[in-house]
Structure 1
Amino acid sequence: MEKENSSIARFENFSIEPIQEKYAWRICDFVTVNAERLQRYFPKTLADNLTPTLSQIFVEKKVREYQKREEFLFVLKDYESRTVIGLAYIKELDWNKKQAELAYCIGYQYEGKGITSLAIDTLSKFAILDLGLQTLQIIVHKTNIGSVRIAEKSGYTWQKTLLNEHTPPNEAPLDMELYELYA
């Protein structure tokens, strides 16, 4: 891993970069291509990026939130094609408790290649070392085996089941699993 000026990290095939306005079109492309994957656990991100205009509004908002340290959105970018291949959030920040949640999604064609694990491991270190957070959380559904593996591989440990934690569109509320990592 090498560090680049605008990147959090650069790996052989991809980089992790803070949200920037130039990514609006690429995020729209990513979301529309992966709409089916995103609709259950990222319905708001999906709805906010269905058209280039909506993506521009979304990105402008996320850039402001990043600058104000309210939420940190990162794009995972294929280094050669420069396309957005995934998103990772550091969200639900509680600066008093020094706690935040990480959420992530990857494009279907990049799944199972270790990219998300590398990204979450890197962003967990960033959250602890650069942001000074003490407790990081990942909330996943038990059937999302890939996401559970990513949490565990990045050093997060299962804490408890959160009852009725997430309600996907047109579904009953789901119990979710809470994983945590401590500084």
Structure 2
Amino acid sequence: MEFDHFKIQLLQPHEGKAFFDLIERNRPRLEDFFAGTVSKTQTLDDTIAYCEIIQQHIEEQSYFPFLITDLKTNTFVGLVDVKNINWDLPKAELGYFIDANYNRKGIMSKALGLVIDHLILHYKFKKLLCRIGSKNLGSIQVALNNDFLLEGVIKNDYKTTKGEIVDLKYYGRVF
């Protein structure tokens, strides 16, 4: 998938270094809501090992990490991950982030839209959802830009790595 000067594709086994660099550049921003990814990518070696595990999850169709690459710099600049997949319905949760240097440029909204189209076309998902920290106005706007509707607010639903208990807004989209 491509738009403007960006490409979106699943993480490949040989891209551990580039994936590590993306996480490392954004680690402080990601610690609270991408805690699992951050904890498994503390070092380059950890990240390379994690990428091998991810490949198994891709093959099992239990997790799909779509990386956004800036074709001008050949650098990873964002992630849309498809997780908590339930093939019985079928539904999945989407998580996403963009590199701080690319924030507020509409890139994530476009990328998420393309990933959603791909998921509907190739995997026939009937529902996608996003769980977003109630204070994360940027991520909320990305969800709204992609026709997600607020389904509810779950109070005290998530504990950040800093120990703060926060509310999550649940946004859903049915197909």
TM-score normalized by the length of structure 1: 0.92
- Matching residue's letter, 2:35: P
Give the 5 Å matches for 1:11-50.
11-50=3-42
Q: Deviations over 1:46-94 (max 9, x none)?
A: 1211211011011111111111101111111111211111111111000
Structure 1 unaligned runs (5+)?
Answer: 1-8
Matches of 1:106 and 1:35, distance apart in 2? 12
Name 2:159's counterpart in structure 1. Answer: 167
Please tell me whether the aligned partners of residues 32 and 162 of structure 2 are also in contact (alpha carbons under 8 angstroms).
no
Q: Corresponding residue for 1:136? A: 128
Q: Which has the higher contact order (CA 8 A, sep 6+)?
A: 2
Counterpart residue identity of residue 136, structure 1: L
Structure 1 residues 87-166: aligned runs within 5 Å = 87-166=79-158
Would you identify which runs of 4 or more consecutive aligned residues in structure 1 move more than 6 Å? none
How far residue 13 of structure 1 moved from its aligned partner, in angstroms, is: 1.7
Tell me the residue number matched to 1:72. Answer: 64
When the two structures are superposed, what TM-score results if normalisation uses the length of structure 2? Answer: 0.96
- Confirm whether residue 82 of structure 1 aligns to residue 74 of structure 2: yes
Aligned pair count? 175
Paired residues of 2:81 and 2:94 also in contact (CA < 8 A): yes
**CA-CA distance at 1:97 after TM superposition:** 1.4
User: Partners in 2 of 1:160 and 1:59 — Cα distance?
Assistant: 34
Aligned-residue CA RMSD in angstroms? 1.0
Residue deviations 1:6-36 (CA, integer Å, cap 9, x gap): xxx1112211011101210011111111111
Tell me the secondary structure at the aligned position of residue 133 of structure 1. coil
Aligned to 2:53: 61
Give the counterpart letter for 2:148 in structure 1: Y
What is the Cα deviation at residue 172 of structure 1?
2.8
Displacement of 1:175 in angstroms is 1.2
1:78-122, Cα deviation, whole Å (9 max, x unpaired): 112111111111110000011100000111000011110011111
Identity within the alignment, %: 23
